[in-house]
Amino acid sequence: MTGAMVAVDLTGAIPNNVGLDSRPALVKTLARFKTGYMKWWRECGPQGFDAAQCYLRLPVAADQRGWASYDYVKLEDFRWGVFQSERVPDKRALFGRPAGRPKLDAVPAEFRGTVIKLLTTQGDTEPASVEQITYLGRMAPSNYDLRNLFQINCEEGRHLWAMVHLLCEHFGKEGEREIDGLLARRSGSAENPRILNAFNHPIDEFLSFLFWSTLADRDGKYQLLSMSESAFDPLARTSKFMLFEEAHHMFVGDDGLRRVIQRTGELMVAHDTDDVAPQGGINLSTIQRYLNYWAPPVIDLFGSEMSQWSEDLFDAGLKGRVYEAERYAEHVRLEDTIEIERVAEGGVAEGGVANGGLAAAQVPMRKAINEVARETYLREIDGVVNRWNRMLAKMEIKFAFRRPSKRFNRKIGAYKDFFFTPEGERVSRETFEAGLKHWLPSEAEKAHVRALMQPVYAPGKIAGWIAPPARGIDGKPLEYDYVRL
């Protein structure tokens, strides 16, 4: 298919803008998937809100200017379907060996297995994100926040559809074989867990959900950005449309945490105390420890510092660097170097015990694409943390949040067999294990946070541990009935 974008079909059994009406065999395959998907959604989607009418944005077009509209809909009647951004005629590949050549509508045979693995891994994160927050609607701090939770639920589900469509249309039976696993694995399951470890962490309260949306959805943005210039054009256009949706997910986390910190600051000033737990707030030190808990598994999502897999994907033109077009002038050889830390010779003894050290090394950028993305991501997180600190400074509160070092509590990469403080200082195993009780949320802190998580559903009302948002959704006021229960 070349040229103009296919018309949007919002009335078919599977809403889409990819011309499914001309592919009956593919429609039949996706209809079978829909049966299994709806069974999964009823089991793992938001529990207890089947009859609710939710004011959600629904995809209606392919361009960023007017891609969605808002309406009331039951959750299971969300516009599940297949959407891609507009095709750009005569678009050329940007990076890797295909650079400068026309973009591809099919994956070269030698990379079929590689791309199936890429799509399956990305696809697995989408239902996992829904499973992690299945019950959080029962503790939403406002009707507005309940609506935002449901928006994320539904769009993560639709992102699964996006990956399933690519697997089915472009990889036939090979791709279809992966679909059952996408619906069968479960977040946190001992027998059949999700592929990436971070997506097996339970999210037990709304505060953790806000951290997850800030940290993990931003990682999701980076993964999509790295695929949005792919030489495999259907993947690029699918990723670009998903990015339209992902921005709101990060906003929910970023602004939600800002509101939590603002409310804590207000209680501190009003009661002249650092301990606002008795006033129904969440202490700043507790919020810091939650940041220390959630950051390492998300930082791990970028993978090891050096990766042949990422180099091969780049060389094939399938997955690039984040902001490939905007920030880099050379897109093929990547001979510029980047400094990383590597395990020194003799650094890890048999059994994984670290008995040596780490050494700085200059390596070609093409060997460290994961680390290039991670460093860009960490600078963006630092910007979020700095905004929190500026808000506290304006309130004349002498407390500063710190993003934990990328060395801290890692399970993947050069740091995984060593022990570091949140500041990045190397310590002994004994010191590290003793320090965790100070660096991560205590059982008492978690119990306090859980106790605060009482639902507030009445329009315009809000729980005492979080400040109201600055504005509503789609120009509506905070008092709007976003979720009609």
The per-residue pLDDT for range 379-394, each reduced to its tens digit, is: 999 999 999 999 999 9
> In terms of Cα–Cα distance, which of 311, 316, 291, 250 is closest to 399?
291
What is the mean predicted confidence (pLDDT) over 112-141?
97
Whole-number Å distance between alpha carbons of 368 and 321 = 10
Between the alpha carbon of residue 65 and those of residues 85, 239, 334, 428, 475, the distances in Å are 11, 16, 34, 54, 16
The pLDDT of residue 354 is 52
What are 309-342's pLDDT values in tens digits?
999 999 999 999 999 999 999 999 999 999 999 9
Query: What CATH class does 20-316+371-484 carry?
Result: mainly alpha
Whole-number Å distance between alpha carbons of 239 and 254 = 22
Per the CB < 8 A criterion, the answer to whether 314 and 334 are in contact is: yes
What does the block give as tokens for 473? 């959704």
pLDDT at 275 over 80: yes
pTM given for the model? 0.95
Whole-number Å distance between alpha carbons of 253 and 270 = 26
What does pLDDT average to over the chain? 95
The pLDDT of residue 346 is 63
The pLDDT of residue 350 is 45
Which pLDDT band holds residue 355 (cuts at 50, 70, 90)?
Answer: low
The pLDDT of residue 357 is 87
Q: What percent of the chain has pLDDT over 90?
A: 93
The pLDDT of residue 6 is 67
Residue with tokens 């029962």: 138
9 phi, psi to nearest 5 deg: -110, 110
Q: What percent of the chain has pLDDT over 70?
A: 96
Helix axes 284-300 and 233-271, enclosed angle (nearest 10): 160
The pLDDT of residue 351 is 47
What are 3-18's pLDDT values in tens digits?
445 678 999 899 999 9
51 phi, psi to nearest 5 deg: -90, -5
What are 156-171's pLDDT values in tens digits?
999 999 999 999 999 9
Pairing of strands 337-343, 53-59: unpaired
Sign of CA dihedral 417, 422, 425, 428: negative
- Give the domain ranges of the chain: 20-316+371-484
What is the mean predicted confidence (pLDDT) over 291-319?
97
